Amino acid sequence: MKKLVLVYNPVSGKAVFKKRLDEIIYKLQSRGCMVIPYRTTPENADLVDFIRLAAPDGIIAAGGDGTVHEIVNLIMREKLNIPMGIIGTGTSNDFATFLHLDTDEYFDRIASGQTMKIDLGKVGDTYFINVASAGMVTSIAHEVDTRLKNAFGKMAYYVHGLKTLPQFRAFDLTVRMEKEEIHEKAFLFLVVNSSVVASFKKVAVQASVQDGVLDLIIMKQCNVADLMIVTTELLAGKDISQRKEVIYRQASTFEVECSEELTSDIDGEVGPKLPLKIETVPQVLDIFY
């Protein structure tokens, strides 16, 4: 019998996961899995000890991007040689959306132990499964009140973004890669592992979690009208990589500097200030898939 620790965030996704907890446990138990739930707290001080004592065959992260980010870093930091599953229940769970981990069939794959190895990104000692960024989108993620996210879900991000659009300021950005150096006035940059960011589904159309590289997207300084057009195309799921306002590259390492004292965003969490060195860690994490 497969033993799984289910780490769940009780307030994610408008706090509705508490109502789904029994359903999730049933779906796993009915497939022959033993489920050991762990309810997250702001500190999660005993989570490592809990997992080591449970000695599971896998860890399932149920929550938003923040919950997934924490479990990824726990597995890597503690060198836990066990696979991870993702059940998206938060306001935003971009990586689960990218891999379509939202069907009943996914529980079959967890129970059968079907996994794949994926790349991660790394900034300093912190790993990320989906995105490292800085600029206008970053500030939106950090400024939206938790109560608004729980009440209105993804719409809270979009409303706040539209409200603050006139305040966006460009900065001088330098990005060094293995074979190229870019200097640009920019509104933001994203270094991504998947194509789904902030619930936009085609931010990086060439992205793959098994190709050994990360994808760079730079939104160049432009007028508000052009910025709105790019945003509208993203909302419509269109490819923006060829637009004149966008720079798109792929590389295994990025050194990023800017003229402002910007704070980065790592998988939706507050990251270090720039400058940053961002690198790909290839084929390093097993996930149920």
* CATH no. of 2-113: 3.40.50.10330
Residue 49 has pLDDT above 50, yes or no: yes
This prediction's pTM: 0.89
- What are the φ/ψ torsions at residue 101 (nearest 5 degrees)? -95, 55
Cα 49 to Cα 142: distance, rounded to the nearest angstrom: 30
Q: How many CB atoms lie within 10 A of CB 23?
A: 10
- What are the φ/ψ torsions at residue 10 (nearest 5 degrees)? -70, -15
Domain ranges of the chain: 2-113, 127-282
Cα 87 to Cα 95: distance, rounded to the nearest angstrom: 10
Q: What is the pLDDT of residues 114-124, one digit of tens each?
A: 999 999 999 99
Residue 269 catalytic?
Answer: yes
Q: Supply the pLDDT for residue 142.
A: 47
The mean pLDDT of the chain is 89
Share of the chain above pLDDT 90, in %: 70
- Candidates 1.10.4080.10, 2.60.200.40, 3.60.15.10, 3.40.190.10; correct CATH number of 127-282? 2.60.200.40
Q: Are 241 and 205 in contact (CB under 8 A)?
A: yes
Angle of CA points 111, 114, 120, to nearest 5° = 120
What tokens appear for 121 in the block? 């990104």
Q: Which of 255, 260, 269, 279 is catalytic?
A: 269
